């Protein structure tokens, strides 16, 4: 099998997966077995799957392995723990009379290699209160941080990135 044929197979599998997900969402929202409604749902799901097929990488199918799903399920409460902790930190800074903040943009390094992994990491950082991913350039992320405690790349990476990166690597790489 040639590389082009493999690529086409992956693209077809990804499109089929998108179609199935879209149809299941349609069915969950309508919650009916009426043949006309199901037919419309099939057509709409097919149209959406064709329309969005180029937005997702063709290797998305590989994400649906039991090992990766397990680590995603581990990551969700782990992530919410750090979001809760960061919320308390921001709340303390807002309510403190002296408003102890030291805002700035720091450069951090990631060892993730896939675009999907880097995007997931950047979104995880952005969703954590007190930090905002400003830009991604190769292996570096630029983060706006409410209280810069380390200006060097290694120190900021330890504080901001390392808590998420190890689990994200198990999910996306």
Q: One digit per residue, pLDDT tens: the chain, 173 residues?
A: 787 787 777 778 778 888 998 899 999 999 989 999 999 999 999 998 888 776 666 566 666 788 988 999 999 999 999 999 999 999 999 999 888 899 999 999 999 998 889 999 999 999 999 999 999 999 999 999 999 999 999 999 999 999 999 999 999 88
Of 40, 63, 86, which one is at a domain's C-terminal end? 63
Same domain, 163 and 105: yes
Domain end point (choices 63, 85, 104): 63
Query: Using CA atoms, how far apart are residues 35 and 117, in angstroms rounded to an integer?
Result: 40
**Domain tally, the chain:** 2
42 and 96 in a single domain? The answer is no
User: Both 145 and 74 in a single domain?
Assistant: yes
Q: How far apart are CA 171 and CA 79, in angstroms?
A: 14
- Is the overall model pTM greater than 0.85, yes or no? no
Domain termination site, one of 33, 63, 93: 63
The answer to whether the CB of 101 falls within 8 A of the CB of 87 is: no
Q: Closest Cα partner for 125 from 77, 159, 170?
A: 159
Q: Which domain holds residue 38?
A: 3-63
């Amino acid at each position: 099998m040639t590389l082009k044929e493999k690529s086409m197979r992956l693209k077809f599998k990804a499109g089929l997966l998108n179609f199935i997900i879209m149809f299941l969402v349609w069915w969950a929202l309508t919650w009916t077995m009426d043949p006309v409604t199901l037919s419309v749902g099939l057509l709409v799901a097919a149209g959406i799957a064709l329309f969005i097929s180029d937005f997702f990488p063709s290797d998305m199918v590989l994400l649906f392995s039991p090992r990766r799903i397990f680590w995603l399920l581990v990551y969700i409460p782990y992530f919410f723990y750090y979001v809760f902790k960061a919320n308390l930190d921001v709340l303390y800074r807002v309510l403190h009379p002296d408003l102890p903040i030291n805002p700035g943009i720091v450069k951090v390094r990631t060892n993730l290699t896939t675009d999907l992994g880097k995007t997931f990491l950047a979104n995880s950082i952005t969703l954590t209160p007190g930090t905002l991913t400003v830009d991604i350039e190769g292996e570096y992320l630029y983060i706006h941080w409410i209280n810069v405690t380390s200006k060097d790349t290694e120190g900021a990476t330890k504080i901001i990135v390392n808590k998420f990166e190890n689990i994200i690597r198990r999910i996306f790489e």
